[in-house]
Structure formats: structure tokens, C-alpha cells
């Protein structure tokens, strides 16, 4: 028996909140990448923070959206281990893509490689999170729709990485994060459109709606705290004192373009900052 599935149990609240989290993660990731280009001697730290921000943003988007997932006639629960593993996958694959473009540049070949790896990883995170679901039935997928969701993930990841190394003005990067939020959230709901649930009638280990909501909120607490800390670091960074025009004048360069130690003749603006 095929059950009726809904992704909007709480109406527009979950998709809107999920979209906003995807935008927040993307915006923080873009700003961290910009900082890494301004500070070659601290590039790895900023790229790592950017990867964690984007990864947590994508994962948080997914599980906020999953709060609205319901199966008529069945309870839904989650395997905690697979849920946490999906977060690790999200951060790891985003880090691969961000470090590739952060150190090797934004050439078409490099962007294609990094975007494909990251996009496939984001899709893997999504379907690993779906594999964590326990319900009174089996989940089945429409493969053409799954393939479309993977293609959207690859396209969104490539666009995000291109924006990370190409867009440095504050308002431009914020606009790009809004577009990226649409792409990432669209990938999620495209993947969810592929899902159907066939009830078996057997009582699987599942949670009540109240305990399920509590579990998901508990899972979301950590990534949300990380995003908050990342936002504070970016907001209070000294580069925020610089205008957009100053920021836009700094070209993209890899770490090899900078000397190991700044020369005595270097201008004060060329010196590395002493902050994180």
C-alpha cells in the first residue's frame, strides 16, 4: 500500500526556514572565502571556516525541511548515527571543493572538478539523511527525479564555488547567497519529490511526532551554534571596516603568489592582519 507523503506538514514555515538557513550558510561561506584571499597566511583557517559554514548551512536546511516531512498512517523516526554521519559528509565534501578552488584557482577545469565532487557529496548527504529514516514501510525513489536532483546539486555546488572566488563585494555576495539558497533548497525538494513510501503494516521503530520534533531540534542545535559563531567571527573581523570598493580591487591570487615573509617595503595595507 502506497502512503500519502507530505513535505509541508507545518505549511510554509519549514521551507522558508530551510531556505533562510541555506542562504545564511552560503553567505558566511562566501565572506570567509573573501577573507582567505585577503589573508594568504591564514587562508587555510578561513577556507575551513567557510567550508564548515556552507556544510552546516546545507545540512541544517535539509533537516529543517525534514521537520515538515510526514507519512500518512505511519510514524517517522531517525537513526542518530546516520544523521550525524550525513553532517560529516556535508562538511567534508564542501571542504574538498572550497580548498580546491581556494588554492588552485577558479579555472573552468578546476571548477568543474570541484563542483562535481562537492555536488555529488551534497547529494550523498541528502540521501544518507533519507536512509536514516525509520518508518512503517519502505522508501522508494523515482530514479529520473533522483538524477535531476543530483544534477541540480552539482550545478549549485559549481555555481557556489565560482561565486566564492569571483564575487567579493558585500552586496553582490549577499545576492549570490540568495540565489544559492534557491538552488540548494530546490535540490532538496526535487529529491523529496522522488520519494514514495510503501507501508508494510509492520510496526517499525519510530517516534511520535513530539519526540521526533525534539530529536530533530536537538540534532540542529550543534550546527546552528556553529553558524552563530561563524557569523560573529565574520561580523567582527577587521576587514568589515573596509569598503566594498577596496575589497573589490584585490585580485584573486593563490598562496604561491605571496612571499613567505612580507618585505620591509610593503605598504601597511599589504601586511597580514594579526587577528584570526
User: Structurally, how many domains does the chain consist of?
Assistant: 1
d(CA 219, CA 213): 10
273 in any annotated domain: no
102 in any annotated domain: yes
Confidence of residue 219 (pLDDT cuts 50, 70, 90): confident
Residues 227-256 pLDDT 10s: 999 999 888 876 554 444 344 434 444 444
Tell me, what's the pLDDT at 212?
64
Residues 29-56 pLDDT 10s: 988 988 887 778 888 999 999 999 999 9
257 in any annotated domain: no
25 in any annotated domain: yes
200 in any annotated domain: yes
4 in any annotated domain: no
In this structure, are residues 203 and 75 in contact, taking their beta carbons and an 8 Å threshold?
A: no
Higher-pLDDT residue of 137, 65: 65
* Helix residue spans in 68-202 (DSSP H): 80-104, 108-131, 143-166, 170-193
Domain that holds residue 245: 9-68+76-252
Residues 91-143 pLDDT 10s: 999 999 999 988 888 889 999 999 999 999 999 999 999 998 888 878 899 99
pTM of the entire predicted model? 0.79
Range 140-161 average pLDDT: 93
| CA dist list (Å): 112 to 100, 121, 219 | 11, 14, 32
247 in any annotated domain: yes
Residue 83 has pLDDT above 80, yes or no: yes
210 in any annotated domain: yes
Amino acid at each position: 500500500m502506497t502512503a500519502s507523503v507530505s513535505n509541508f506538514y507545518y505549511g510554509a514555515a519549514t521551507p522558508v526556514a530551510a531556505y533562510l538557513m541555506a542562504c545564511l550558510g552560503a553567505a558566511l561561506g562566501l565572506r570567509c572565502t573573501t577573507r582567505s584571499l585577503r589573508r594568504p597566511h591564514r587562508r587555510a583557517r578561513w577556507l575551513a571556516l567557510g567550508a564548515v559554514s556552507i556544510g552546516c548551512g546545507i545540512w541544517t536546511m535539509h533537516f529543517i525541511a525534514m521537520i515538515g516531512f510526514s507519512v500518512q498512517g505511519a510514524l517517522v523516526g531517525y537513526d542518530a548515527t546516520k544523521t550525524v554521519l550525513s553532517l560529516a559528509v556535508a562538511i567534508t565534501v564542501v571542504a574538498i571543493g572550497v580548498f580546491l578552488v581556494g588554492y588552485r584557482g577558479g579555472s573552468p577545469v578546476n571548477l568543474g572538478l570541484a563542483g562535481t565532487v562537492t555536488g555529488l557529496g551534497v547529494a550523498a548527504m541528502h540521501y544518507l539523511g533519507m536512509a536514516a529514516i525509520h518508518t512503517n514501510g519502505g522508501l522508494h525513489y523515482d530514479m529520473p527525479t533522483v538524477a535531476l536532483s543530483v544534477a541540480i546539486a552539482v550545478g549549485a555546488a559549481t555555481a557556489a564555488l565560482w561565486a566564492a572566488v569571483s564575487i567579493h563585494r558585500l552586496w553582490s555576495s549577499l545576492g549570490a547567497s540568495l540565489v544559492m539558497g534557491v538552488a540548494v533548497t530546490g535540490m532538496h525538494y526535487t529529491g523529496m519529490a522522488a520519494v514514495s513510501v510503501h507501508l508494510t503494516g509492520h510496526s517499525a521503530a519510530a517516534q511520535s511526532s513530539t519526540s521526533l520534533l525534539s530529536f530533530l531540534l536537538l540534532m540542529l542545535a550543534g550546527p546552528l551554534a556553529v553558524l552563530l559563531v561563524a557569523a560573529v567571527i565574520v561580523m567582527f573581523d577587521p576587514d568589515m571596516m573596509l569598503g566594498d570598493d577596496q575589497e573589490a580591487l584585490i585580485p584573486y591570487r593563490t598562496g604561491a603568489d605571496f612571499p613567505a615573509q612580507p618585505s620591509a617595503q610593503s605598504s601597511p595595507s599589504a601586511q597580514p592582519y594579526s587577528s584570526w
